[in-house]
Amino acid sequence: MTLAPETTDPRLELRLADGWLAVCDLALLVPGRGVAVLLPDGRQAALFRDRGGKVYAIDNRDPFGGAAVLSRGLTGTHQGRPFVASPLLKQRFDLETGRCLDDETVRVATYGVRTAA
Amino acid sequence: MTATPGTTPTLVLVGHGMVGQRFLEALAERGLTATHRVVVLCEEPRPAYDRVALTSYFSGRTPEELSMTDMEFIEGHGIELRLGDPAVRVDRAAREVTARSGEVFGYDVLVLATGSYPFVPPVPNKDATGCFVYRTIEDLLAIEEYARTRAGTGAVVGGGLLGLEAAGALKGLGVEAHIVEFAPRLMPVQVDAGGGAALLRTIEEMGLTVHTGVGTQEVVVGPDGAVTGMKLSDGSELATDMVVFSAGVRPRDQLARDCGLLVGERGGIAVDEQCRTVSDPRVFAIGECALAADGRVYGLVAPGYEQAQTAAATVAADEAAFTGADLSTKLKLLGVDVASFGDAHGSTEDCLDVVYADSRSGLYKKLVIGRDGRLLGGILVGDAEAYGTLRALTGSVPPVSPESLVLPAGADAGARLGPSALPDEAVVCSCHNVSKGTIRGAVAEHGCTTVPEVKKCTKAGTGCGSCVKVLGQLVAAELEAGGVEVDKGLCGCFGQTREELYEIVLALRVTTYQDLLDRYGREGARGGDGCEVCKPAVGSIIASLAPTIGASGYVLDGEQAALQDSNDHFLANLQRNGSYSVVPRIPGGEVTPEGLITLGEIARDFGLYTKITGGQRIDMFGARVEQLPLIWTRLVDAGFESGHAYGKALRTVKSCVGSTWCRYGVQDSVRMAIDLELRYRGLRSPHKLKSAVSGCARECAEARSKDFGVIATSQGWNLYVGGNGGATPRHADLLAQDLTDAELVRLIDRFLMFYIRTADRLERTSAWLERLPGGLDHVREVVVEDSLGICAELESLMADHVAHYADEWATTIDNPEKLARFVSFVNAPDTPDPVVGFVPERDQVKPDLPLLSIGLRSAEDLLEGSAPR
Ligand code: SRM
Ligand SMILES: Cc1cc2nc3c(=O)[nH]c(=O)nc-3n(C[C@H](O)[C@H](O)[C@H](O)COP(=O)(O)OP(=O)(O)OC[C@H]3O[C@@H](n4cnc5c(N)ncnc54)[C@H](O)[C@@H]3O)c2cc1C
Ligand code: SF4
Ligand code: FES
């Protein structure tokens, strides 16, 4: 596993149980699209940036199909809240709470994100 | 009309044609099939079919598709339908009908619906080999067989409605067709001299030869007894290999004559206003075999249907009467609209004509106006757009000046009168006698909100179909009037339809989604992030217009990347385990051995599962996201490019092997398929587009199941549109015939661009064609006849697309910044996704599915394990 090299651009960090994990440059995130992050314990997170520059992180696994693909979904705004639609069967997940908008019994993990200089 | 109490009365119907079937439906609607034993003697080998649409057999409708009989209906109502078993004798004293099979049926009620037979003038050799009539499916099968095997030239006797249809059919079969009409003009019954002249010009331009004012005197036969020619009354002889008689019909009243029922002087079983024969209260006659109480024998289906209703009502002891019917007709003859309605020939005393004629474009329109300003009737040739409205206005004083009703659109015509101006009593659908009021009621009271619902509820529009356009306008107007908020908006972000957004993007040269959303989005959606519905839809609109509006044509450029559906964003198809499939374009399905070897090597080197697709190409599955650029590089090096299997774009143009190899082929279908695939590759559209080209009528490429399908003829190409496989299969409809290469391409250019412009998101051409008011006719008007004057623009949009096409795979592998996205993990670009795993199967791989469920936790677990924000 190669971790992202150090640069001077604003960096994104993910909050894990034991502290902040440096992930990548903010500039790598295209507004409206996501990227996947490999976590030290083997799990995966999906990172998104909206057009206002706000960044969100949720689990990358699609809880319906099992594949790690939520980072490849399309994002949008539903009643003022940001969401991503899974590229598999199109269920939508709230990017702030991880709740599935199309099936209230389902929810994915969320992670805190911050930018560090 | 009931039998002795305790026994079930028997009703025998002789003839299962269009009117017979309608009568059975009317019986069932009135519950009479439950109280009666119903026996149907049907002479033809098949149950009732749509005789009116008979000629569509030659544009590909199968006999099954022509059928009007739902066997579930027949069985469900316990109707005893005896196919191929005509009635041969009626004994009215004993109340018995004898069938050809010898079986005898006693009746309480007898209904004769035996239709007509084609009149064949008594000329020498009229029964020779090569002589035909045009009435039944069996006649058509025989004509087709003969034309294919033995005939290069054919002559049709009779230039009326049926004669023109028959001549068109012969032409479609590749036979050089002549029409011989005794009267001085074509369609003498329906049109006057002016209309006949307009019609003649248009029909001659289509390559048919017309001989008017001459009669047929003798059919000439060769030594083998088969037709070789025809002697005409002007002394000339016409060389021809076959003759189709279409010189009118006569009522089939022999059965009635034989049992002593009164028939008219010129034939037809005489009936009263209840459709009961004047001779015998237990016997009814309906349809073309009946001489109605008004002294006429009706040769159209609508009056027959009305008679069927009347007879059924009378049997049920309800009150009903048939006192006469309208002879209005609207036809599309060989692609030319011809309509006549009301007093078309101006026989009312003191009436006046309003005539508009333009011989250059084959237009002729005449209205007959009474002294008091009432519209009495009219004739329309070349453009029958106004038929529905005018027919319904007949008998009243039109609310605008009569001239404005016939002047062409664009001329200083004042108000073009829409159906909203019609009174409620106006009959909109004359096939089923449905008034405007009934249609409004269907919307207002029965809650119908779409044309198909209204059709189902009222039956309007389910006959000849000529009223469907007006129907659509009425339904829309009624919904609006009822204040029904039909939110036609694309999604929660846009109140506009896809079509409206397309127009905005094109007209205002809007090149970004955000700009469109912020300026034209719904109130609450502006400034937001949009949604998964409108982003790809707008992305597609911008992509298909890119060169014209000055946006980048590369779907991964800038903001465009964020709009694409996941598959388009990765230029590959996502599989269930997160891997991708790769489908290179193989135009027309033609591939060299070298090409195949390259594909094999790539698949082998990357361990991909390989499959031949249903689209005549090769799909390679199981590529990890980081392998995609490596695979494309090798493919691009070998001359392959993206097949857009992931896009709402052109997929494949399948081909059959065609005239180069196939002994039946009449054109080079492979070359044409390759040309078309290369021309339209990369074209983004509302849904995927598929095509195929067959080298002859055997249709091995299955072109009629495609959005646009091409079938070779000996003269060129036939273009079919609106086909679909998938969940709701639909055969494509014939748009135009015998096109040259250039005409074909030009027409497809226009068709595709018109579709892209007006279809809804994810609406295949088939659904679009069904939804568009006016359907195929409207599309033909727009793309063939250029009725909207937009064809030049449509062609130029397509020219822009073709000129700016670039392969997306090649563009991407040349772009390091874009390539950086093709990794599983942003923070670990060299690490593959551990969830993507494979296991062996039949010497290849398949996704390791159990791996997908490992580590997935329930929602409750998650809440606890979830890290605090
Ligand atoms: C690969 C292939 C099956 C095969 O192994 O042969 C296939 C595979 C898929 N088809 Fe198909 N279709 C394939 C030929 C067809 C055909 C046959 C044809 O094209 O001649 C049809 C019927 C013809 C038609 O479209 O009218 C067909 C009708 C559909 C439909 C139904 C469309 C409809 O209008 O009802 C869908 C669903 C959709 O598009 O909404 C669909 C959707 C799909 C999707 C995209 C489903 C999905 O979202 O994952 C599959 C993608 C597989 C992949 O990842 O590559 N596929 N699909 C064929 C690819 C052909 C090619 O070379 O591009
Ligand atoms: C090519 C073509 C195009 C047409 N286009 C139009 C159009 O555009 N608009 C329009 O309004 N009309 C059109 N017509 C006319 C329309 O088809 C007829 O008006 C309609 O079919 C009449 O219905 P029917 O039931 O009376 O007769 P048919 O449909 O002819 O049915 C009569 C049936 O009775 C059967 N029969 C006869 N004798 C016996 C017996 N002894 N025992 C058992 N069965 C018997 C016959 O075999 C036949 O199947 C067209 C006709 C043709 C041929
Ligand atoms: S038929 Fe269904 S399962 Fe088979 S390829 Fe098409 S979409 Fe996939
Ligand atoms: S007028 Fe023929 S279907 Fe309505």
- At B659, list the tokens: 């005239």
| Alpha-carbon B381 to chain mean position | 22
| CA distance between the termini of chain B | 85
Question: Which CATH number belongs to the domain containing residue A75 in this structure?
Answer: 2.102.10.10
Interchain CB distance below 8 Å, B862 and A98: yes
Say how far apart CA A60 and CA A70 lie, in whole Å. 5
Inter-chain touch A38–B831, beta carbons under 8 Å = yes
> What pTM was computed for the model?
0.56
- CATH code for the domain of B688: 3.30.413.10
pLDDT digits (tens, 9 = 90+) for B833-843: 989 999 999 99
- Span B421-427, average pLDDT: 79
- Percentage of chain B surpassing pLDDT 70? 94
B815 assigned to some structural domain: no
**Placement of tokens 């579709």 in the chain:** B755
To the nearest whole percent, how much of chain B has pLDDT over 90?
Answer: 59
Q: Quote the domain boundaries for residue B385.
A: 326-417
Q: For residues B418 and B278, which has the higher predicted lDDT (pLDDT)?
A: B278
B784 and A CB contact within 8 Å: no
Cα–Cα distance measured from residue B656 to residue B670, given in angstroms and rounded to the nearest whole number: 7
Angle at A64 between CA A61 and CA A69, to 5 degrees: 35
Rounded Cα gap, residues B484 and B482, in angstroms = 5
Residue B415 confidence (pLDDT) above 50: no
State if residue B727 touches ligand 1 by the CB under 6 angstroms criterion.
Answer: yes
Q: Quick check: is B762 in a domain?
A: yes
Domain tally for chain B?
6
Shortest Cα distance, chain B CAs vs residue A64, angstroms: 9
Structure confidence by residue, pLDDT tens digits, B653-684: 999 999 999 999 999 999 999 999 999 999 99
**Residue A16: inside a domain:** yes
Residue B87 CB–ligand 2 contact under 6 Å: yes
Q: What's the pLDDT at B855?
A: 63
Same domain, B412 and B423: no
Q: Phi, psi at residue B567, to the nearest 5°?
A: -65, -45
Stretch B795-803: mean pLDDT: 93
Closest CA to B158 of B169, B167, B147: B167
Q: Is the CB of B473 under 6 A from ligand 4?
A: no
Same structural domain for residues B691 and B786?
A: yes
Q: Would you say residue B115 has pLDDT above 50? A: yes
Contacts of B731 (CB under 8 A, 6+ apart): B60, B65, B704, B705, B720, B723
Confidence band (pLDDT; 50, 70, 90) for B259?
A: very high
Q: What per-residue confidence (pLDDT) applies to B862?
A: 42
Dist. CA B775–CA B772, nearest whole Å: 5
pLDDT class of B413 with cuts at 50, 70, 90? very low
Return the best residue to mutate from B340, B394, B430, B433 for the ligand 4 pocket (most ligand atoms within 8 A of CB).
B430
Sort out which chain A residues have CB atoms less than 8 A from B581's CB and list them. none
State the residue range of the domain holding A88: 11-116
Report the length, in residues, of chain A.
Answer: 117
Q: Within 10 A of B1 (CB to CB), how many other CB atoms are there?
A: 14
Binding residues of B for siroheme: 700
For helices B498-508 and B513-520, angle between their N-to-C axes, nearest 10 degrees:
110
Token couple for B378: 């009219």
Query: What interface predicted TM-score (ipTM) does this complex get?
Result: 0.70
Integer-rounded Cα Rg, in Å, for chain B is 32
Same domain, B165 and B280: no
- Cβ of A80 within 8 Å of Cβ of B492? The answer is no
- The string of pLDDT tens digits covering residues A6-29 is 445 788 999 998 889 999 988 888
Q: Which CATH number does the domain housing residue B355 bear?
A: 3.30.390.30
Residues of B in contact with A24 (CB under 8 A): 826-827
Backbone angles phi, psi at B809, to 5 degrees: -65, -45
Beta bridge mates, B839: B846
Give chain B's count of helices (H) and strands (E): 30, 38
Residue A2 lies in a domain: no
Distance CA B331, CA B160 (A): 12
Average pLDDT, chain B: 88
Residues in the annotated binding site of B for [4Fe-4S] cluster: 656, 662, 696, 700
A66 close to B (CB below 8 A): yes
**Does residue B729 have its Cβ closer than 6 Å to ligand 1?**
no
Number of domains in chain A: 1
Alpha carbons B654 and B709: distance in angstroms, whole number? 9
Residues B410 and B431 in one domain: no
> Using CB atoms within 10 A of its CB, is residue B548 exposed (0-12), middle (13-18) or buried (19+)?
middle
> B644 with B537, same domain?
no
Which pair of structure tokens corresponds to residue A84?
């991503």
In this structure, are residues B405 and B391 in contact, taking their beta carbons and an 8 Å threshold?
Answer: no
* C-alpha B19 to ligand 2 mean position (Å): 8
B853 touches A: beta carbon within 8 Å:
yes
Q: Is the pLDDT of residue A1 over 50?
A: no
For B389, phi then psi, to 5°, come to: -70, -45
Longest dimension (CA), chain A: 42
Burial (CB count <10 Å: 0-12, 13-18, 19+), residue B487: exposed
Between CA B377 and CA B27 the distance in angstroms is: 34
Question: With an 8 Å Cβ cutoff, are A67 and B576 in contact?
Answer: yes
Annotated binding site of B: 656, 662, 696, 700
Asked if B586 and B723 sit in the same domain, the reply is yes
Residue to probe by mutation, ligand 1, list B540, B565, B573, most atoms within 8 Å of CB: B573
C-alpha distances in angstroms, A67 versus A82, B469, B607, B849? 22, 49, 20, 9
3-class SS at B60?
A: coil
B764 CB within 6 A, ligand 1: yes
